């Protein structure tokens, strides 16, 4: 079905198209800005030089690895506190609602907890992104707070919901879903 693999330079053209899609960026916390290929090249080079602080994976069709469907990342990895921040983007609208995000969040969270020995993952999500909130809650994230009217999107301020997931909570939820 789907799998994660590390981001590759060959993914940049598609990612650049996504990052220039105002409808996609309207769902994310980042502001919309015009991004050319050189900016994404520099972004990728920075990632390669700071791989100890981040993990960036392409979400791909497991039969066609070159077919990138989205991007999921663990950012600001802190090995003292054993924490990181999760970011995800499903590129084209026809790929949303297919379970790709749920798969990717589960896979990345499992990687963070089982392979990287992290114990906490956090994220921010726009209060208007109901589909993403549903995915995060399904995986086990809980709301920890709200940054009121913190992001300016399409001419108005939108609040950011701050969510977190602890390793123990995830393991318990995963175990419960197996026994159901």
pLDDT tens for 64-83 read: 877 899 999 999 999 999 99
Whole-angstrom Cα distance, residue 123 to residue 156? 22
Q: Which domains does the chain have, with CATH numbers?
A: 2-178 (3.40.630.30)
Residue 128 in 3-state DSSP? coil
pLDDT digits (tens, 9 = 90+) for 72-118: 999 999 999 999 999 999 988 777 888 899 999 999 999 999 999 99
Beta strands in the chain (DSSP E): 2-6, 55-61, 64-78, 83-90, 120-126, 142-153, 156-166
pLDDT digits (tens, 9 = 90+) for 121-176: 999 999 999 999 999 999 999 999 999 999 999 899 999 999 999 999 999 888 87
Query: What's the confidence (pLDDT) of residue 173?
Result: 83
Residues 6+ apart with CB under 8 A from 15: 40, 68, 71, 91
149 Rama sector, left if φ>0, alpha if ψ -120 to 50, beta otherwise: left
> Has residue 177 got a pLDDT over 80?
no
pLDDT digits (tens, 9 = 90+) for 10-46: 999 999 999 998 888 888 888 888 899 999 999 999 9
Query: What's the confidence (pLDDT) of residue 180?
Result: 58
Whole-angstrom Cα distance, residue 133 to residue 127? 8
């Amino acid at each position: 079905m789907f799998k994660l693999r590390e981001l590759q330079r060959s993914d940049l053209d598609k990612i650049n198209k996504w990052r220039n899609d105002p409808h996609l960026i309207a769902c994310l916390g980042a502001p919309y800005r015009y991004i050319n290929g050189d900016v994404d090249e520099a972004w990728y080079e920075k990632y390669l030089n700071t791989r100890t602080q981040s993990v960036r994976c392409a979400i791909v069709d497991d039969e066609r690895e070159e077919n990138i469907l989205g991007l999921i990342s663990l950012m600001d990895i802190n090995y003292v506190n054993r924490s990181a921040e999760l970011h995800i983007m499903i590129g084209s609208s026809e790929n949303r609602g297919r379970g790709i995000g749920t798969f990717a969040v589960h896979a990345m969270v499992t990687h963070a907890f089982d392979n990287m020995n992290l114990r906490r993952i956090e994220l921010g999500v726009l209060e208007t992104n109901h589909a993403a909130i549903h995915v995060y809650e399904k995986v086990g994230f809980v709301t920890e707070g709200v940054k009121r009217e913190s992001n300016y999107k399409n001419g108005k301020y939108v609040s950011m919901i701050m969510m977190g997931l602890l390793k123990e909570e995830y393991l318990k939820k995963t175990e419960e879903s197996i026994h159901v």
